[in-house]
Amino acid sequence: MLFLHGFPSGAIDAAHIGLDMVGFANRLSTEMGWIALAIRFRGCGTSTGDFSLNGWVEDVQAGLMYMRSLERVDRIWVCGTGTGGSVGLIGAVTDDAVAGVAMLGSPADFNDWAQQPDRLLRHAKDVGAIKSEDFPTDLLGWKAELRAARPTVAAQAFEPRPLLVLHGVVDEVVPQLDARAIADAHSSTDLRLVGGAGHQLRHDPRAVAILLGWLERCRRS
């Protein structure tokens, strides 16, 4: 299982984003016997580099490549929260070793970012996801990536592999409609809406139980 964190915010900056995913990975490893890896995207934690959407997709692919090199790994599952779920799906589409993807509170597109790329750039610098003064060197290209990334297109291309879309009914960051858009693009999506839950689904015991149950069923299939 490859675990992917979301995009840093004012509440959880780039230095601290993703730390809780390590605990997620440890739980899956100890309770269910999985080989689990939680990565930190470029620009986050101790990872070098600066945030770009394509860069994060490349990080997913690098994580998958590493897991494929492990002797005991034959199938790989991807679980991402927020932006991590969306780029995880995009990065997994072309990798035949990926057996399934779980997305928690993930956006169906990045149109909001694409419409205000300068605001996103300032935010990324404020939270520490972009540290280099001269980044991005290709500003137009960096902005173009935001509109080109299409999780719904990736969902359609991911068929018939299993896809779990988990979303909080009162998610204050990503609208519930995004979950439905992703589900509509993949004919056999397992769409689960968690009543009363917000964006931080990884901290909701009900969402975690749904995820672990889905993984166990998929593993036996």
> What pLDDT sits at residue 45?
94
Interior CA angle at 61 toward 205 and 186, to 5°? 60
> What pLDDT sits at residue 124?
97
Contact 178, 106 (CB under 8 A): yes
Q: What is the CATH number of the domain that holds 12?
A: 3.40.50.1820
Q: b vs e for 78-88, b when ≥16 Cβ sit within 10 Å of the residue's Cβ? A: bbbbbbbbbbb
> What pLDDT sits at residue 103?
98
CA distance 118 to 123: 9
pTM: 0.95
> What pLDDT sits at residue 51?
98
Copy the structure tokens of residue 186.
């993949």
> What pLDDT sits at residue 6?
96
Look up the domain containing 111 and give its range. Answer: 2-220
Structural domains of the chain, count: 1
Host H or E run for residue 206:
helix 205-220
SS3 (DSSP) at 17: coil
> What pLDDT sits at residue 54?
97
> What pLDDT sits at residue 72?
86
Q: Rg of the Cα trace of the chain? A: 16
Q: What does pLDDT average to in each consecutive run of 10 residues of the chain (221 residues)? A: 94 93 88 92 96 98 96 92 98 96 98 95 97 95 96 98 97 96 96 95 92 89 75
> What pLDDT sits at residue 161?
97
Question: Per this entry, what is the length of the chain?
Answer: 221
